[in-house]
């Protein structure tokens, strides 16, 4: 049975795109940055510098010999103060390079545009750039662009859905750097031999749709596809289906459906790197939420603390009760304002008491709303029950491994059940069960 037998569901969420028309502001270089050696999905990097070393912007400071990883470069010039242990907001411990900046932003002598004339050169350049999926997933781009079946991949899907409330960083990329986005798309298509590209943009961003369309030269195999403004249009499998009609089946990767998906800011960065050779050292993010005095889109050096970014946005107008890295649907609550901005961090949202209340859970009333909201037609209430019964067979049948933790089910649940947590626990339970077997 097809995963998408019925139309994809999802939920309507308030857009709250308050910063949509706020042009990106460059934040001054902070006094100190902290660069964790894990800013991506996969293996952490090992620091290549030590306390006392002088570093420059774009200098390689962390690397790994593992396949799934991404290089880390200094975002500032200055002196390494220490290498310390850091526990990220998901609880993973990693090393972190702390650099006291000298404010000069001296570029590293290593910086030069890469020489690219083949697929291999291009993939090597993407790897050297340290790029990871900038939309939130943090998957190393050089790995994503090099699937095991390159000859069967013919399509690039560019994700500009930006369906999470509040976040407008990708919208700003579209409005401020559309020609860079298109050049990035053309480079990816040229070197990976792709026939066509689709740019998916939600229809609550009509200016972005119109502007992007106006820059596409007639005859170019690039199309803008307006998508219904609904969450989670930007989820990988969802946007592939909505733009191309192709289905990524359970256990498959997008490349198995002949597609590569890139976030719009990632594709724009590819163009920038090919032109300048400056690796990924800064990030545009949206700063918003009821506790923030001056919501903004801001470009900051990687490793800048949340506190410095929030102070740059005027500080708090109300005491924050919850601060999120990312959007309100899939973002992660941070435990400290010293948390540094990392590569896949596209928003800092700070909410005051009234918007941060955790609702009390009541008993499931078996209304079925969670299943109707799920884009993959999973049955979260049954998953929750089967998890309680530790029934691995039932959980497998319920296909909990398809769950992408989008939160639509919990969002619509009248009993306020914490279904995302139970789905995640069920996946963990199945992994442990499989390991035992």
| Stretch binding ligand SF4 (CB under 6 A), from 116-124, 282-290, 322-330, 419-427 | 419-427
Does 25 bind ligand SF4 (CB under 6 A)? Our answer is no
Q: Which residue has the tokens 């089946």?
A: 249
**Whole-angstrom distance, CA of residue 305 vs CA of residue 32:** 8
| Stretch binding ligand SF4 (CB under 6 A), from 58-66, 120-128, 283-291, 416-424 | 416-424
Does 380 bind ligand SF4 (CB under 6 A)? Our answer is yes
Between 296 and 427, name the residue whose CB sits nearer to ligand SF4. Answer: 427
Largest CA distance in the chain: 64
Query: Which one of 415, 418, 425, 430 is in contact with ligand SF4 (CB under 6 A)?
Result: 415
CB of 324 to ligand SF4, least distance (A): 17
Q: Is 98 helix (H, G, I), strand (E, B) or coil?
A: strand
Does 314 bind ligand SF4 (CB under 6 A)? Our answer is no
Say if residue 232 is exposed, middle or buried (CB neighbours under 10 Å; 0-12, 13-18, 19+): buried
- Say which DSSP state 21 is in: T
End-to-end CA distance of the chain: 28
Does 420 bind ligand SF4 (CB under 6 A)? Our answer is yes
Between 341 and 419, name the residue whose CB sits nearer to ligand SF4. Answer: 419
Q: Residue 199 forms beta bridges with which residues?
A: 158, 224
Give strand ranges (E) for 228-309.
Answer: 259-263, 282-288, 296-301
**Whole-angstrom distance, CA of residue 156 vs CA of residue 158:** 6
Q: How many residues does the chain have?
A: 437
CB of 231 to ligand SF4, least distance (A): 10
Q: Which candidate, 107, 112, 160, places its Cα nearest to that of 281?
A: 107
Does 370 bind ligand SF4 (CB under 6 A)? Our answer is yes
Between 332 and 364, name the residue whose CB sits nearer to ligand SF4. Answer: 364
Interface with ligand SF4 in residues 229-288 (CB under 6 A)? none
Between 129 and 423, name the residue whose CB sits nearer to ligand SF4. Answer: 423
CB of 90 to ligand SF4, least distance (A): 17
Does 408 bind ligand SF4 (CB under 6 A)? Our answer is yes
Q: Are 174 and 260 in contact (CB under 8 A)?
A: no
Torsion of CA 204, 210, 216, 219, to 10 degrees: 100
Does 388 bind ligand SF4 (CB under 6 A)? Our answer is no
Does 148 bind ligand SF4 (CB under 6 A)? Our answer is no
Half-sphere exposure of 382 toward its Cβ, with a 13 Å CA cutoff?
15
Does 367 bind ligand SF4 (CB under 6 A)? Our answer is yes
Does 364 bind ligand SF4 (CB under 6 A)? Our answer is yes
Does 366 bind ligand SF4 (CB under 6 A)? Our answer is yes
Q: Are 252 and 149 in contact (CB under 8 A)?
A: no
Does 368 bind ligand SF4 (CB under 6 A)? Our answer is yes
**Whole-angstrom distance, CA of residue 243 vs CA of residue 159:** 10
Query: Which one of 407, 422, 426, 427 is in contact with ligand SF4 (CB under 6 A)?
Result: 407
| Stretch binding ligand SF4 (CB under 6 A), from 50-58, 329-337, 373-381, 390-398 | 373-381
| Stretch binding ligand SF4 (CB under 6 A), from 21-29, 173-181, 243-251, 403-411 | 403-411
∠ CA 47-53-58, rounded to 5°? 65
Query: Which one of 409, 426, 427, 429 is in contact with ligand SF4 (CB under 6 A)?
Result: 409
Render 187-249 in DSSP notation, one character per residue: HHHHHHT-SEEEEEEETT-HHHHHHHHHHSPTT-SEEEEEE-S-BTTTSHHHHHHHHH-----
| Stretch binding ligand SF4 (CB under 6 A), from 103-111, 194-202, 330-338, 370-378 | 370-378
CB of 400 to ligand SF4, least distance (A): 8
**Whole-angstrom distance, CA of residue 253 vs CA of residue 237:** 9
Does 378 bind ligand SF4 (CB under 6 A)? Our answer is yes
Q: Which residues are at the interface with ligand SF4 (CB under 6 A)?
A: 364-370, 373-376, 378, 380-381, 403-409, 413-415, 417, 419-420, 423
């Amino acid at each position: 049975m097809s995963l998408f037998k019925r139309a994809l569901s999802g939920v309507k969420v308030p857009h709250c795109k308050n910063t949509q028309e706020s042009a990106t502001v460059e934040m001054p270089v902070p006094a100190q940055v902290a660069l964790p050696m894990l800013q991506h999905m996969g293996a952490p990097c090992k620091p290549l510098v030590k306390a006392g070393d002088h570093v420059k912007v774009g200098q390689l400071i962390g690397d790994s010999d593992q396949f799934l990883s991404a290089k880390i470069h200094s975002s500032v010039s200055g002196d390494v103060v220490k290498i310390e242990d850091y526990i990220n907001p998901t609880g993973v411990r990693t090393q972190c390079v702390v650099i006291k900046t000298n404010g000069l932003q001296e570029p590293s002598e290593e910086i030069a545009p890469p020489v690219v004339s083949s697929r291999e050169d291009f993939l090597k350049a993407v790897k050297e750039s340290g790029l990871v999926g900038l939309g939130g997933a943090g998957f190393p781009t050089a790995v994503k662009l090099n699937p095991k079946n390159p000859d069967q991949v013919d399509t690039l899907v560019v994700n500009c859905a930006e369906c999470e409330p509040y976040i407008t960083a990708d919208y700003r990329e579209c409005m401020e750097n559309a020609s860079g986005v298109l050049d990035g798309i053309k480079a990816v298509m040229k070197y990976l031999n792709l026939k066509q590209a689709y740019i998916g943009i939600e229809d609550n961003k009509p200016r972005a749709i119109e502007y992007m369309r106006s820059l596409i030269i007639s005859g170019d195999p690039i199309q803008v596809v307006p998508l219904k403004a609904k969450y989670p249009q930007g989820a990988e499998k969802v946007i592939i289906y909505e733009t191309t009609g192709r289905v990524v089946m359970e256990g498959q990767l997008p490349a198995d459906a002949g597609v590569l998906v890139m976030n719009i800011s990632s594709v724009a960065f590819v163009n920038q790197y090919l032109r300048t050779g400056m690796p990924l050292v800064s990030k545009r993010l949206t700063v918003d939420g009821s506790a923030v005095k001056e919501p903004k889109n801001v470009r900051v050096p990687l490793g800048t603390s949340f506190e410095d970014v929030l102070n740059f946005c005027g500080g708090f107008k109300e005491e924050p009760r919850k601060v999120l890295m990312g959007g309100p649907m899939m973002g992660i609550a941070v435990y400290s304002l010293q948390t540094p901005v990392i590569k896949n961090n596209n928003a800092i949202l700070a909410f005051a008491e009234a918007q941060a209340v955790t609702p009390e859970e009541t008993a499931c009333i078996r209304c079925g709303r969670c299943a109707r909201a799920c884009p993959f037609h999973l049955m979260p209430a049954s998953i929750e029950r089967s998890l309680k019964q530790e029934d691995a067979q039932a959980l497998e049948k319920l296909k909990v491994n398809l769950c992408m933790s989008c939160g639509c089910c919990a969002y619509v649940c009248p009993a306020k059940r914490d279904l995302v947590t139970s789905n995640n626990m069920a996946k963990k339970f199945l992994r442990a069960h499989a390991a035992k077997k």
